[in-house]
Each structure stands twice: as structure tokens, then as C-alpha cells.
Structure 1
Amino acid sequence: MKKFLVLACVVLSFCIVSAQEIITDRVNDIVVEGNNITSSEFIIVRSGLTVGMKLTSEDMKQAIKSLYSTKIFYQVEIEPFEGQYGTSLRIKIKENVRINKIIIKGNKKVKEKELLDSLKIQAGEFLSDYARFKIMNEIRDYYHKKGFLNVELKDSVGDVSEESSVNLYYQVKENESVRVKKIEIFGNFKITDKKIKSIIKTKEKAFLQDGLFKEDEFEEDKITILNAIKDNGYPDAVLDSVVFKYSFDNKFMFVNIYVTQNQRFIFGDVEISGNDFASNKEIERRIAFKKNMSYSQTLMDKTISSIYEYYMDRGYIHVNVRSETDRINDTMNVKLNITENGLAYINDIIILGNEKTEDYVIRREIISKPGEIFKRNDLILSHTNLFRSGYFEDVQINPQPTDDMSKIDLAFTVKEKQTGEFNIGGSYNQTDGLTGNITIKISNLLGKGLSSSLLLEKGASLTNFSFGFTEPYLMGYPIVAGTEVYYRTSDKTYYYDRRIGGSLTSGLYLSERMMTKFYARYKLEQVYTYIDFTDSQYLDSWILSQLGRKEILSEISPSIVRDS
């Protein structure tokens, strides 16, 4: 038996060798012809052929296949020839030219930039029949997504330049976009067509509705329709098919959607297990459905999410909530299996991404502290505080596991934004005439969270200067301290008014979690009003009695501010 197997293997090996015809026992040389752009060295290396190798017909097939796979060549031939010192190989190729520009003409309702950005093949790549076909399809698909289902396209290739590149032209005839005349859903006995049409993006042509059909939106609509049916007690519903019909002039579309609802189910009993920390009543308060309601996966997901939030707000970040359903006739009984695991404590808070803002400025906005129990709600408030500061355009929070499962690190990654503002403006009115102004505001001065502002305003009858400075955390405590000084003059028709003053502002949190602060502002101001007595006949006697003297005015104004 063994002798027979050995003999069979020898015969099989002989057949395989015979099938691979030996061209030559040794390749003496390899030459390349027809290449203008691609180097001969690259072509030889990519072919896999080498001088000195034993050449078979299979080697030649693989070499041709490998060169075609580069998409650089549209024709490859390999032929052996007898040279002075033996058999050599000649690789004859014809290169694809490169695409210099893709030019789209005839497009009126869709911008050329939009079309070019939608293409996967771009200028600079090699031109091939496949590339032309792919670009054509991508332009057509983009038009279909925009509702132009009747678009017509023609392509052409320009002359080859000295750099072996060509322009690729696409002539577009957009035609009229197709409008949806009617949408009908067949097989939905529980939900009316009217209700389904109200929740999908594709609309019928009507008053104030364009009825434009967009393929990408319709794909989303199919999911929406199916989910709506499933959420009304039909978890096994399927969307069987969609049939499109067109009017004789191809301007209107009739959409027929066929669904199968299958059996209807209602919610039954709920069994809760694994909850040692939370009582059954606490869990039941977070169940979004009631017994005998139509089964809905959305309500199931909402329930699971609510239970997760309850536990994570209390430090159980590793909690696991699984739902199981048990079908009995038309009833869907639900089992909620909770694995609480242990409490999670905050090990460390890591600040990343801040190049200008000091770490402590970020840390003071974070409510969560190392050593405390992890609470999801504190994380949300910390995220809100960092955005509310106005220093960042993006804030990402990523819990990171540690070697100790009961402890986690919190990584806050911020992306800073420009916090300075510089404005130059001007205005004109009959009272003050022509006025110019310069405003400078900095809300994160030196990266320390300080804010400062400067206003310079000057006109024919108006002068206004003010400077303000605010420290939001005085000496590291959540107490706002701010000051402002100003100088204002106004030269009216009958009198001149000058005001020099300043103010001190202090504020503190009444409730950090509710983002509510109490402010007290003290203002001290010197007022001087002067009148040209040649015009005094036009003024009231009481006003005259107040003019021509300096007064010191002071004011205290309390306020409560809630940042929503």
C-alpha cells in the first residue's frame, strides 16, 4: 500500500511539472520596452522575474498578473527571445496615462466641488476603463442621492499632454428631479400610513413639501418604518420589498412598501434578579413599560438605560444589566438580570490636550475628585462646567481602568479655542455724530482663567474709556472678584456731562450643582455736569439747580444669576 502511495505521488508531481511548461533553464537577461513614466527597475521587480532563474509558463502568467494589478498598465506582454548569451525576456508594456483634471460640465443644480469631493478616484491617479466606469457611477450615485434619478452622463478623454496626462470630461444633463407622488405601506394593520408618513424623511409632493426623493434618506426611512412597527408589538416584523413605479414622463414616483407584521406581543410580568444594592421598587420606578402594553424594543432599551444611569450615579460603574424575554402565547415576559459588581472609586484625574490653559484652571471646574466614589452625574456637571468656561471647543472624558478593579482614572482631553477678541467699529447718529470704537476682550488671560476687557470709544461729542478685570477663583476659592474703571464724557447741545468711576464685584456659588451664583456690585461715581448759560432759557429750573456742581454717587446692587 505504501509503495502504491509513493508511486502515486511521483506520478502526480510529474504531471504538475509537465503542466508548468519549462521555457528555459536559465534567464540570461530581462529588458523592458514601452515605459515612459515607470522605471524599468520597478517593472522587473514587480514582475517577480530575475536573471538566472528557471522560467516556467506559470512564472510568466504570475508576472503578467502582478504587473496588471498595479493598474499602471493597460497592456502587458512577456516574450522570450534568444540573445547572444542565451535566452532573455522582453517585457512589453503600455502605460495608462494619469488624470490631470476631472472636469464636469452641464451641472446647474449640484455644485462641481460637491461632485468632485464625492469621488474616490482623484486627479493624479492612473486612467483606466475601470476608473472611467467608477467615476461615472459615483457621479450618477451622487445625483441619485440628491433626487435626480433621470440624470444622463457622457464622458470623454482629452489629448495626451507631454507629461503623459489627460483631462477627463463628464457632460451632465440633470433633467428634472423625481418627486414622490404617493407612498403606500402594505401589510401594516396596526399603524396607519398617515402616522408612518409623519415620522419618515421622504415626503409626498404637497403644499410646502417638495417631495424630493433622496436615496440615502429613504434607506434611513426603511429602518424607521420597520422600527415603528416593531415598537407597536411586532418584534418579528420584516420589510419584504419596495417597489418603485413612475409616471409616463418620469417626473413622479409611486413608492409601494411591503411589510409582514407577524405575531403581535404584549408585555407580561417582569422578574428582577441580582439587585442587592437597589430595591425592587427602585428598579421598578425605572421600567418604562407596563403590563399588557404593546411590546416595544425602544421601551426595553430605555428601561435598561435608566437602570444603568441609576447605578452609575451611585458609583457602580461596572454594573451589568441584561434583559431576557420569555414568549408565552402572545405575552412577552421580561427578566432583568443585574450584576452590580463593586463600587468604583476615582484613583486619579488626568488632564490632556491643554497647551495654554493651566492644569489647575481645568481641575477646579471638575466636580469629581480623587478618592471619591465615581458618579456619572458629577461627570456630566464637570463636562458642562468646562464648556461653560468658554476656553474649550471640545471636551472628552474617558474612564480608564487601573490594576485595581475598584479604582478608575478619569482622563479629561480638551481642545482649546481662541479666547481673545479684537473689534474695530464705527457708527453715526444725530446725537453723537460719527463715532469710532476699539474693543479688546481676553477671557483666559495667561492661561490662568483671568478675564480682561478694554473699550476705547471716541466721537465728535462722545468719549468713552473703560477697563475691566475679573478673577473667577479668588485665591483658589470659588469666589468671583472683579473691578472696572471708566471715564465717560458727553457733549450735548445744551450741556456737558462727565462721569468718572469704578466698581467692585464679588460673587460666590449658592449652588454649584445648580450653577447658581450670588453677586454683589458696588459702584462709586463722580458726576460733573456743566451748562453754557447762554442756552439756560431752554432748560427747566430744577435741571438748572443740579448743574454746575460735582457729585459723588455710590450704589450697591445685589443679583442672583443662574447659568442654564
Structure 2
Amino acid sequence: MKLLLNIKKENDDLGKQVSNLVNTLPITTYLKYCLAILFVIISFSIQAQEINYSDGKKYTLGDITVAGNSTFSEQTIITYSGLRKGKEMSIPGEDIANAIKKLWGTKLFSDIEVYITKIEGDTAYLEIRLSDLPQLNELKINGIKKGKQESIIKEAKLNKGVKVTENLLTTTKNFLEKKYKKEGFLNTKIYINTLEVKDSIETARVNMVLNVDKGEKVKIKDIVFNGNDILSDKKLRKAMKSTKQINRLRLLKRSKFIDSAYQADLSHVVDKYKENGYRDARIVKDSIIVNDDKTISINIDVNEGELYTFGDITFIGNTVYTNEFLSRVLRIRKGDTYNGVELQKRIADNSKPDADDITNWYQNYGYLFSQINPVEVSADNNIIDIEVRISEGKPAYFNNVSVVGNDKTNDHVVYREIRTRPGQLYSKANVVRTVRELGQMGFFDAQEISPNFNNPNPNEGTIDMEYSVKETGSSQIELQGGYGGGGFIGTLGLSFNNFAIKDILKKDAYKPIPMGDGQKLALRLQASRFFQTYSFSFSEPWLGGKRPVQFSTSLSHTKQFLFNPLTRDADKSRSFNITGITFGLAKRLSVPDDYFTLSQAISFQRYDLNNYNTGLFTFGDGYSNNLSYTVGLSRNNTSVDPIYPTGGSNFAVSAKLSLPYSLFNGVDYEKLSEDYDDALQRRANAESTSDLQFIEANREITEIDQERYKWLEFYKVKFSGEWYTQLAKDLVLRPKIEFGFLGAYNNARGVIPFERFFLGGDGLGNFALDGREVIQLRGYPNQSLTHLDEATGRASNDGSSIYNKFSLELRYPITLKASAKIYALGFMEGGVSYEKFRDYNPFNIKRSAGLGIRIFMPAFGLLGIDFGHGFDPLPGETVKNGWETHFIIGQQF
């Protein structure tokens, strides 16, 4: 058997010639040996280059056989090689080379050789000898925790059965070294060993041992700059966003070294100089020094260059806007310190989709295809003249506008929120606003909404717009049980946030409920031995389907039974019932802008007390009626995700008003107030509670209160404002202020005991039977920060008529996926409440700070826990309150 290209004889002759030549040279034996090998390689290379396929002899292929270690059938290998019996071909020639190339291309074999087994006249017989690449049998990973090994196997594609090639080993090694170097393990070493498996199975298999030596994280001990006179080391280090030296007080940025981030930070240093007018600044040299304590030091040599200023700035090619207008948008004047980074932002700020820059001014008025380029035309005497060259192009119009991904939500519900219509002039602002509106609907994953520009045609001035959305669960179920108030409390709540009431009678629409019209329907039942609460609410965001006018209604009924201390059970003969109904309309305004909403509501509550004496009210038998009108004005331009806003603000002011009954009901409330004070004095002077004087005075007090509160008379004003600012990527700061005031039209009638503010705790309003508003202030017990009771010197149980609150919250997301949005937060807040306005001091606040976490799951709503520390004592106490734990359910702060 001979190899197809037989050069063995020629090599033997060449070896003899080289040996004779080298032996004649006056050098050592070792050098002679090295020279001999070198001459053989050179000569072999020359002869190999002389092989010419055109010199091959024509043969007809006879039988082709397959040998070696392979699980593939002989016929499969021959067929794939392209060789076939009876084919006429040159040997050597391109056909043999192509056959070998095809087999190598399968990446299934480790060795491929073609031999001539015999030649009979013009017929040649061939043998293909090859071996399968080994498959991975078992993989053992050392140096990585078991919990992370699965992800390594998946990322490096090291599943059982994969073909083990040199490329796989090299790729795996490089991937893991790069991966751990990104995490700060700069000295990561990867060692891979393979061992052939010898057993009865013919398939070539190997076991692999992957040893990962991450070493210790390499931290940066210090960063030193040389050659910098204008900017200090501190400023330059601050410009490096990801590469930081060791500072134990810094929590958000670690001092690990990552080469890719370091290279980017070198550019940030140069940009910092450019921002300060030194456009020629550059990094001359940088070096990394390994210290004895396994840290590194970084030395960076800079050449600052000279200071430049802006000269003349001219605009060329603009017809839509005047030079004066573009100069006002650019906000750069002749003589200003040169700042190339800021210049580019004023032209096109890619970090803010709604930035006030020249590009957006063009794109918001149709010029999608405009191109704006600042060009330096002169730099004499360090004064840089700029030409802003503008190619405006044709105005662009929307051709087709479509939405994809809304499988449950009906098209008309989505399209009514879209601000870009076919035939309309293109506006980037409307595209950005549409993305915000779709995210605020709550039916789609706000992180996955994507505006896609299709078929742009600059010549005709048209573009197709496609909004890609990903639906997320919009319905929620609340099913919980717990022990509180002396017994078991069960809660069942259903909230359908994309309901379709028109399909409620269609059987086919129940999947599991009629959905798709954007309506909201909520049902809730809560019960224990001592109380029962039923509520129903419904809202239609587009009443009539043509205008963004939201209609809402709610109906609720609560029955509270008195606790009997003797039987420790509910006394169902003594109860307090509340029945309420509300109708509301909210209209989106167009002025001052269309972020404003005007809302109005009429509500009625009926309070019935049946022998219910608890001290909550001064009368235990009787009723009160609360008929009120609420008007509110709000502005909400937060973006984009309603669960985790990253920008914008939300302001709301409202007034809740009852009728001024004291003006027309004929009751002399001043006389009634005098009688009330007199009755209180007589009751206080009574010798005992069984004294006739006490009983008579108490009866009179109850009658007077019944008359005073038969129809509740009050006004309530509230204000809240919050801002969202993105400090860094995904790191959001949210300051918020709140204020509330409950007043009376008639001072003789007084402030009602209903509708009051209760400050402190988690803000959850359980057992809010009297229309109270529970205001969250973490770090203190629930509803504990009311005004001092003058009689007892402790916190009053009656709530307060005025409050204010300040809070500052820093949020950072852990994950914002549709299945679960999780973010951590730190907070500082303070608040105070008073009974009388003349005592009000908005800055004498109770302060707190702490940490928390929020988890939002579409099926269950928002859940969370906060750990707050109260720095001040409770009303009537002298020692600070300390730590409190708060569980948050169904509320967002």
C-alpha cells in the first residue's frame, strides 16, 4: 500500500545529501543535527510546491474501501466524499483533494488519509482511512460552585455527546478566561485534560476534566496620573466610570480591574479634557504594576495640550429653521470654552430620546432623513470655527402603522393609544410618547416595547412604523388568610385589568375570562368573625370609545360587629355598617399639555351605628351621611414602566367638598356648641358613671353629636408630587412630598371625626371604617404619629386634620423581566400631623431611614418588605422608636 503522494524515496535521497553536507562543516554535533532538520524541511517544502495536479495520470476508479475507527457506514462516507466507482480522474488531482476537503468540512473526523491499495492497468483502487472525533462522555469541573456549573456547561456548549475538537478546547479555555476576567479575576487560569474512554462501545469517547483557577480578584490599589496640571487626579479618577481604586466607603462601584472597562475609561479621561476645552489631550502611556499584596497600581501619563475656545459657528444648508433659532437651540456662543462632547450632545443627544437638541427639532417636525454634522473649519490661535452642515432632506410621512404581539388585547384598544397615524408627518416625539403610553397601559411588558422603522424611503419621504409589544399578565388574584383582631381573617380578591364587559355573555370569550377591551373590574371579599367587607369596582378608560374619558364606579359594604370581652366573641346585635357608592369621570386635557387629567367624582357613604359604643364616635346609636364632590387635577409624565419609572414626574392636587349644610338647615351651631361644652362639664363633675347627672349629660352629648354629624360638612385638600431622576443606568432617585388638610366651613360645628389622616407605618388601610386615610411613614408603628391628646398626653386615637410628609427614595432594579420585576430601595423620610392649623409646624418632623425590596408579579401584584429605623420618639414618649419591619401588599411607593 502506498500513500497517494509518495515522496518517501525522494526524501531518503535528500537525507543522504544533507547528511554528507552537514558532516563536512566544523560545528558541534548538536548544531549539525539542527541544521540537518532545517535543510530537510526546506527541501521538502520546495519539492511539495513543485507538485502539480495537472501532472497526474488518468485512472478509472475501481473499488473504494473505508478503514479506521468510525461509527458511520462505509457507503455514507464514500457518498459524502464525492468519489464513486467507475469515475475517471487524475491521480494525484483535484478530485482527491476535494474529497478530503469535504470530509474535513463535516467536523466529524480527526484523521483523514487516502491510499492507493493497488493499480491494475488504468484502474486504481483506493482506501479512505479515517477516525471519528471523540465525543464528550463525562465532564468534571473543579474550582466552580456546583450551583454555577450548569450555566457554564450551557454557555460553553459542553453537553454530553459534543464532538471534542482542538477548537472546542481552545474556545472553552478562552471563553472562561474572558468570563472571569470580566468579573475581576485577572489571573484566571484554565486547565483542560481529556482521557480516552476504553470500553466495549466502539464510539470514540473522552472524559474531560475542567480545572478553573480563578485566583483572587485583582483590586486596584491606586490610580496615579502624571503630566496633569489642569485637571486633578481626583477629577480624572471620577471621569473613569468603571475603573475605581480601593475605597471602603464606596458601595456601588467595586475596585476590580476589567480590561475592557479600563480601555473605555481611558477614553473617558480624554473626553473629560475635551469637555474642558483641551481638545488635543491624549494618553501618552499607561502601565499596570503588580504589587506585593496582589493588588495592582495604574500609572497614566497624559499630555493635556492647550486650551481651545469656540470661534464663529455658522449653519449651512438650513431652510426650515433660521440661523438665530438654531443658535438658541445649540446654546453655544463665540468665546465659550471648547467642549466637543457637549457640542455633539447639542447636535444629537443619543442618551435622551426627548432631548432638546437640533436633531430632535428636525425629527419632531418630519425631517427624519435629515443629517447634521459639525465640522471644524479653522483652529487658528486655539480658536475653533465650526460649520454645522445640514442636509434636511424631504419631510417623511408615515405610510403604514402596525402593532404586533397583542394576542389578547384588541387592536382598537392599542391603536387608540398610538399617536402616529398613516399619512401624518413623522414626529420622533410622538413615537417616544406612544412607547410611553403603551407601557403605561399595564398590559404589555414595558421593557420589551420596541418601535421598528421599516421600509424607509428618503426619495419618496415615507416610512412604515411597527410597534412590537409583548403581552404580560394583567389580571391579579388575592387569596390570603391570617390571624388578627382576635380571629382568622380571610381575603379573596380578583382584579381583571384588561376586561371586556361586552363579551360577558359569550361562552367562547371565557379564556378564562373575557379580555381585551382595556376595562378594569375588581371584586373583593374580606371576612372574619368580627367584620365583613364586600366591594366592587369597574372602570372604562375610553367612555364611548372616541375620547380618553375614563368612567369609574365602585360599590362597597362593610359590617363591623362589636367585640364582647366576656365571651371573647362577636356580639352581632351591636354593629357598625357602612355602605358607599361612587361615580367618577376623568378627562385627559389638551392644555396646558396632554399630560394633565381633570377628574371629578360624586360619592355617598351611609354610616349606621347600632348600639356600637367604642369611643370611635361620641354616639353609639344613630347614623351619618356623607355626600361629597371631589375634583382633582393631575399631571403624570413618568416613563416608561409604571412599576419602575425611570424619568418624569407625577403631581396631583384634589379637593373633596360636602355641601355647606349649616347655611340652610336652620340649626344654630353656636348654641349647640355651647350646650355641648356645658354637657361635657356636667359629665366631668358627676360623682360616678351611675350618677343621674352623668347619664343625663352623656345622653345630651350623644344627641348633640348625632345632630352635628347627621350630614357631614367638611372640605379636604390634598397635594402630592414626586419626581424620578435616573442618576446612572437603572439607578433612580425619587423624591416625594405630600400634604393634606381637613377643614370645616363652620367653626362652631367643628371638624368631623371622619375622613381624617392617620400617619405612620406601612400605609395599609385595614379596618378603615370611618373613611380615614392611612399615610405611610416607615420606621414607626401603624397610625401612631397622630397629634397629642390634651387629656392623656399621648397620641390621639382620632387621627389628625393636617399632615405633611417628605421622602427620598433610591431604587435599583434586580430584574425587570415580565415574569417578575424586583428592585431594591433605600429611603429617608419624615412627616408630622396636627389637629389644629394654628399649631402646625411642617418642619418639626418624625424622621426615619431604612432599606426595602419590592417584587411585582402580574398574578399577585406588588409585594414587599421594608426595614425602617425611627430616629424620633412617638408622641408622648421620650426614647426614639428604633427599628420596625413593614410588609407591603398591593401598594406601590
State the TM-score bracket (shorter-chain normalisation): 0.7 to 0.9
Q: Is the 8 A contact 1:98 1:164 kept in 2?
A: yes
Q: 1:526 aligns with which of 582, 606, 619?
A: 606
Deviations 1:46-70 (A, max 9, x none): 4343322324234444543443343
Residues 389-538 of structure 1: pairs in structure 2 closer than 5 A: 389-393=441-445, 394-400=448-454, 401=456, 405-429=460-484, 431=485, 433-445=487-499, 446-476=515-545, 477-493=547-563, 495-511=574-590, 513-531=593-611
Distance 1:219 1:490 in 2: 68
One-letter identity of the residue aligned with 2:619: I
Native 8 Å contact 1:432 1:459 kept in 2: no
Q: Specify the alignment match of 2:772 in structure 1.
A: none
In structure 2, which of residues 419, 428, 433 is the aligned counterpart of residue 367 of structure 1? Answer: 419
Quote the Cα distance in structure 2 between the aligned partners of 1:26 and 1:482: 90
| Cα deviation code 1:58-115 (max 9, x no counterpart) | 4444543443343322222211112889421111112211124543212259933454
TM-fit CA distance, 1:262? 5.2
1:562 pairs with one of 620, 635, 642: 635
Match of 1:53 among 65, 79, 88: 88
Q: Which runs of 5+ in 1 are unaligned?
A: 1-14
Secondary structure of the corresponding residue to residue 247 of structure 2: coil
Using a 3 Å threshold, how does the CA distance of structure 1 residues 483 and 272 change in structure 2: closer, same or farther? Answer: same
Deviation at 1:378, TM superposition (A): 2.7
Separation of aligned partners in 1, 2:193 and 2:531? 68
| Deviates most, 344-353 or 164-173 | 344-353
Cα deviation, residue 159, structure 1: 4.8
- 1:8 aligned residue: none
Which range is displaced more, 325-334 or 64-73?
A: 64-73
Q: Residues 410 and 560 (structure 1 numbering): CA distance in 2 closer, same or farther, change over 3 Å?
A: same
State which structure, 1 or 2, has the greater radius of gyration over its C-alpha atoms: 2
Secondary structure of 1:103's partner? strand
* Alpha-carbon separation, structure 2, partners of 1:184 and 1:542: 74
Residues in 2 aligned to 1:142 and 1:247: alpha-carbon distance in whole angstroms: 24
Q: CA deviation at 1:435?
A: 0.6
Q: Secondary structure at the match of 1:281?
A: helix
Letter of the 1:150 counterpart: N
Q: Which amino acid aligns with 1:271?
A: T
Please tell me the residue identity of whatever aligns with 1:207: R
Q: May I ask how many residue pairs the two structures share in their alignment?
A: 541
Hey, what does 2:182 align to over in structure 1? 145
Whole-angstrom distance in 1 between the partners of 2:521 and 2:138: 51
Partner Cα separation in structure 1 for residue 74 and residue 306 of structure 2: 69
What letter is aligned with 1:510? L
- After superposition, residues 220-299 of structure 1 pair within 5 angstroms as 220-248=264-292, 251-261=294-304, 264-299=307-342
- Please give the alpha-carbon distance, in whole angstroms, between the structure 1 residues aligned to 2:75 and 2:282: 58
Q: Is the 8 A contact 1:287 1:303 kept in 2?
A: yes
DSSP-derived class of the 1:492 partner: strand
Question: Could you say what secondary structure the match of 1:527 adopts?
Answer: strand
CA spacing shift, 1:403–1:286, aligned 2, 3 Å: closer
Alpha-carbon distance, 1:36 to partner: 3.0
Task: Work out whether residues 401 and 421 of structure 2, in 8 Å CA contact, stay in contact via their aligned partners in 1.
Answer: yes
Whole-angstrom distance in 2 between the partners of 1:459 and 1:503 = 26
Show CA shifts across 1:143-181 (max 9, x none): 222222233433222452635433321123333222212
Give per-residue Cα distances to partners, 1:170-206, cap 9 Å, x unaligned: 1233332222122223444543322121121111123
Whole-angstrom distance in 2 between the partners of 1:246 and 1:109: 32
Determine the C-alpha separation between the residues in 1 that align with 2:319 and 2:154.
56
The answer (yes or no) to whether the contact 1:20–1:56 under 8 Å persists in 2 is no
**What is the TM-score normalised by the length of structure 2?**
0.56
- Give yes or no for contact 2:575–2:609 (8 Å, CA) kept in 1: yes
CA distance in 1, matches of 2:452, 2:144: 46
Alignment partners' CA distance in 2, 1:257 and 1:125: 46
- CA shift, 1:469, in A, is 0.8
Q: CA deviation at 1:552?
A: 4.9
Of 56, 66, 76 in structure 2, the residue corresponding to residue 32 of structure 1 is 66
Is the counterpart of residue 543 in structure 1 residue 619 in structure 2? yes
Superposed CA offset, 1:203-243 (max 9, x none): 11232355221223223223322332343334454445432
Q: Which residue of 2 aligns with 1:207?
A: 248
Q: Is the 8 A contact 1:438 1:457 kept in 2?
A: yes
Could you tell which deviates more after superposition, 304-313 or 461-470?
Answer: 304-313
Question: What SS does the aligned partner of 1:543 have?
Answer: coil
d(CA) in 1 for partners of 2:453, 2:180: 43
* Alpha-carbon distance in 2 for matches of 1:188, 1:105: 46
Q: Is the 8 A contact 1:115 1:142 kept in 2?
A: no
User: Quick one: higher RCO (CA 8 Å, sep 6+), 1 or 2?
Assistant: 1
Aligned to 1:195: 235
Cα 1:65–1:345, aligned 2, differ >3 Å: closer, same or farther? closer
Corresponding letter in the other structure for 2:344: D
More moved, 76-85 vs 88-97:
76-85
The whole-number CA distance in structure 2 between the counterparts of 1:69 and 1:541 is: 89
Return the letter of the residue paired with 1:57: P
Distance 1:444 1:290, change over 3 A: same
Comparing 257-266 with 501-510, which one deviates more in the overlay?
257-266
What CA distance in whole angstroms lies between the structure 2 residues aligned with 1:91 and 1:279?
A: 78
Cα distance in 1, alignment partners of residues 97 and 431 from structure 2 = 63
The answer (yes or no) to whether the contact 2:394–2:458 under 8 Å persists in 1 is no
Q: Which segment drifts farther, 294-303 or 154-163?
A: 154-163
* Residue type of the alignment partner of 1:378: N
Q: 1:466 to 1:241 in 2, by over 3 A?
A: same
Cα distance in 1 for residues equivalent to 2:211 and 2:277: 51
Offset of residue 28 of structure 1: 0.5
Report the CA distance shift for 1:108/1:125 in structure 2 as closer, same or farther (over 3 A): closer
Give the distance between the partners of 1:403 and 1:552, measured in 2 at CA: 67
Gaps spanning 5+ residues in structure 2: where?
1-48, 349-356, 500-514, 565-573, 637-649, 651-893
**Which residue does 2:373 correspond to in 1?**
322
Residues of 2 paired with 1:236 and 1:198: CA distance? Answer: 20
Matched residue, 2:100: 64
Q: Label 1:465 to 1:177 Cα distance change in 2 as closer, same or farther (>3 A).
A: same
How far the C-alpha of 1:456 sits from its partner, in A, is 1.6
Aligned to 1:135, the other structure's residue is in SS state helix
* Deviation for aligned residue 1:117: 4.6
Q: What residue identity is the alignment partner of 2:71? A: I
C-alpha RMSD over aligned residues: 3.1
Secondary structure at 2:544's aligned position in 1?
helix
Give 1:16 deviation, angstroms. 8.1
| Structure 1 residue 478: Cα displacement | 1.9
The 5 Å alignment of 1:346-385 reads: 346-385=398-437
TM-score using structure 1 length: 0.86
- Structure 2 residue matching 1:315: 3-state secondary structure: coil
The percent of aligned pairs where both chains have the same amino acid is: 24
Q: Bigger CA drift: 233-242 or 377-386?
A: 233-242
Q: Choose 472-481 or 311-320, whichever is displaced more.
A: 311-320
What is the distance in 2 between the residues matched to 1:386 and 1:417? Answer: 12
Residue identity opposite 1:387 in structure 2? G
Q: Judging changes above 3 Å, is the alpha-carbon distance between structure 1 residues 540 and 348 closer, same or farther for their aligned structure 2 residues?
A: closer
- CA positional deviation for 1:20: 5.2
On the 8 A contact 1:289/1:299 being kept in 2, the answer is no
Cα distance, 1:437 vs. partner?
A: 0.8
CA contact (8 A) 1:188 1:229 kept: no
Q: CA deviation at 1:482?
A: 1.1
Work out the CA distance in 2 between the residues paired with 1:73 and 1:399: 46
Does residue 88 in structure 1 map to residue 125 in structure 2? yes
Between 386-395 and 407-416, the greater mean CA deviation after superposition: 407-416
| Deviation string, structure 1 residues 276-311 (Cα, Å, up to 9, x no partner) | 231222111122433233433212212222111122
Aligned-partner residue type, residue 36 of structure 1: S
Q: Greater CA deviation, 159-168 or 492-501?
A: 159-168
